[in-house]
Structure 1
Amino acid sequence: MWKWEADGQARGVAVVIHSAYEHHRRYAWLIEELRSRGFHVIAGDLPGHGEDSKHKKVHDEALKDYERYVKLMIETAFDYNLPVFLFGHGMGAIFGIYAVQKYRYEVAGLILTSAWFHLQHQPSRVSNAVPGLSKIAGGFKIHHDITVKQLTRSYDAYLEMKDDIMYNSNVTVKWYNELHNFMKALYQSEKGIPDIPVLMMNAGADKVVDTNYAKKWLLKQPISDFIYKEWPKCHHDLYLEPERELVFSYVESFLFNSLKNIGYIVE
């Protein structure tokens, strides 16, 4: 886990949870934008990701380990005694949602991008070919094969990410099936999140997830303050897209309005 201090007087704390297979360094631009707007930032690599992925050939971590890590990041953020905003992208979005739902964290806002409620790009069908296969061949390796070009249209991002040795989308059948069941259970859960402000943004040209599921999940939540925004031409990784400055303008407006609504003066 890493902490970055705000540039100037801090207004709040942002917890950034990355998606599957990647690492927190891909959010360097977002982290600097948040720091420059007066937010401390807490981020890190989920278990088995980042530096750990250099030494692992396949993701087989227990999902409980992700839950514990996200819980630690959020509770560390509250130690600052400042409003806490939770950023979750992709798989990170659903673990952020789960933490807020389970532990009833009173965060000042939840910012969700490209949440993994339902994947339209799936790995080898062997993972779902036979009922109970994960019990028979749970350690069998499959390749999810989410490529850089599926994630972003930015050529600069492509050049930076194409040889990233810390990006690993090899998974076991057991891991993938557990994740699939986790997504399904969260989507179908009748236990809503607390009444906190939510900004949900999706990519209109997302090649990884079916964004309709995220939108439907949002609309059934018992919350009074939410914004839904879809970026028509964008691919999955909104913070890496050519439109990222516009994307962040929505984030910045949401952050400052949420602070004002709870009595913080933002000038």
Structure 2
Amino acid sequence: MWKWETVSEAKGVVVIVHNILEHTGRYAYVITHLRRNGYHVIMGDLPGQGQTSRMNKGQVESFELYHESVLEWLKIAEGYHLPIFMIGVGLGGLISMNLLEKVDLGIEGLVLIAPLLAFQNNAHTRKNILSSHIGDVSKSAKFDLGFEVEDLTSNKEVQEDTLNDALMLKKVSYHWYQEVLKHMKETTDNIQNMKSVPLCLMYGTEDRVTDVDVTQQLVSVIDHDELYFKAWHGLAHEVHNEPQREAVMRYILSFLNNHVFTVGFLVEDENSLT
């Protein structure tokens, strides 16, 4: 787990929960802009990814281990005595929603970027689902999810960095895949139990990882007092890494700043991005 403190007067803390296959190091752009705009950032690599383990890459014993990590990061965030927000990306969005169905996290708002409630329905995904049910469920047996860097982002610079990133995963265990599928269903089946927090929901219309139809349904099925919703036309799965990522960050910062103001913290410029 790492902490990045803002260089200016702090007005909030953001806990970021990252996506499948990746790690904290891919969020330098997001972290930089949050810090420059008055937010401390707390983030760590999820179990089985990044620098958390050399032996169990692409594997998690149970989904609850994700919960434990996020709760630990939130506990550290509470020490700042500032408004706390979460950003959940892909798998991180699924983890955040599943956790909010079980406990009140005491956060001021949640940003969901392409939450992984369902994989895109295509031949490759159907093959993965079938393989996960008939394949070796031992903790060591793994298979390739089949996602390419082009499925994540159209940003050539980010694509090149990702291809050369030794911490990126391609293979996951059959057990991991079954855990994720199970908690996708559990989360969507119990969506009415999700604690109500101000929500910012966004995705790219060219997402080739998640099923955007399922994401869209959240607008009508989640009961929230306030909802920011943005379908980024033409953008891929990682909207925060796309060439238009400055506009994406402006949208996120607008949401954060508005809610900081609501809870009594002074924000000089709600739409600033430096």
TM-score computed with the length of structure 1 as normaliser: 0.93
User: 2:101 is paired with a residue of what secondary structure?
Assistant: helix
Question: Could you tell me how far apart the structure 2 residues matched to 1:35 and 1:126 are?
Answer: 39
Deviations 1:235-259 (A, max 9, x none): 0011110000011111111111111
Deviates more, 1:69-78 or 1:8-17: 69-78
Task: Establish whether residue 133 from structure 1 lines up as the match of residue 134 from structure 2.
Answer: yes
Deviates more, 1:17-26 or 1:210-219: 210-219
The Cα shift of 1:52 comes to: 3.7
The Cα shift of 1:190 comes to: 4.6
Match of 1:185 in 2: 186
Q: Which sections of structure 1, spanning at least 5 residues, go unmatched?
A: none
8 Å Cα contact 2:59-2:175 kept in structure 1: no
Q: How many residues align?
A: 264
**Counterparts of residues 1-267 of structure 1 (less than 5 Å):** 1-52=1-52, 54-56=54-56, 58-120=58-120, 122=124, 125=127, 127-128=129-130, 133=134, 137-139=136-138, 140-267=141-268
8 Å Cα contact 1:111-1:200 kept in structure 2: yes
8 Å Cα contact 2:198-2:227 kept in structure 1: yes
Deviates more, 1:27-36 or 1:254-263: 254-263
Closer, same or farther: CA 126–245 of 1 in aligned 2, 3 Å? closer
Question: Could you tell me how far apart the structure 1 residues matched to 2:56 and 2:175 are?
Answer: 16
Question: Could you tell me how far apart the structure 1 residues matched to 2:156 and 2:137 are?
Answer: 37
The Cα shift of 1:100 comes to: 2.5
Question: Could you tell me how far apart the structure 2 residues matched to 1:106 and 1:57 are?
Answer: 31
User: 2:33 is paired with a residue of what secondary structure?
Assistant: helix
8 Å Cα contact 1:94-1:183 kept in structure 2: yes
Question: Could you tell me how far apart the structure 2 residues matched to 1:57 and 1:2 are?
Answer: 20
Closer, same or farther: CA 39–61 of 1 in aligned 2, 3 Å? same
The Cα shift of 1:18 comes to: 0.4
**Amino acid of the structure 2 residue aligned with 1:236:** H
TM-score computed with the length of structure 2 as normaliser: 0.90
**Amino acid of the structure 2 residue aligned with 1:82:** L
Identity %: 30
8 Å Cα contact 2:13-2:40 kept in structure 1: yes
The Cα shift of 1:123 comes to: 5.0
Closer, same or farther: CA 232–48 of 1 in aligned 2, 3 Å? same
8 Å Cα contact 2:192-2:221 kept in structure 1: no
Closer, same or farther: CA 200–57 of 1 in aligned 2, 3 Å? closer
Question: Could you tell me how far apart the structure 2 residues matched to 1:142 and 1:176 are?
Answer: 10
The Cα shift of 1:201 comes to: 0.5
Question: Could you tell me how far apart the structure 1 residues matched to 2:143 and 2:68 are?
Answer: 26
* Aligned CA-pair RMSD: 1.9
**Amino acid of the structure 2 residue aligned with 1:258:** H
User: 1:119 is paired with a residue of what secondary structure?
Assistant: coil
Q: Which sections of structure 2, spanning at least 5 residues, go unmatched?
A: 269-274
Question: Could you tell me how far apart the structure 2 residues matched to 1:158 and 1:145 are?
Answer: 16
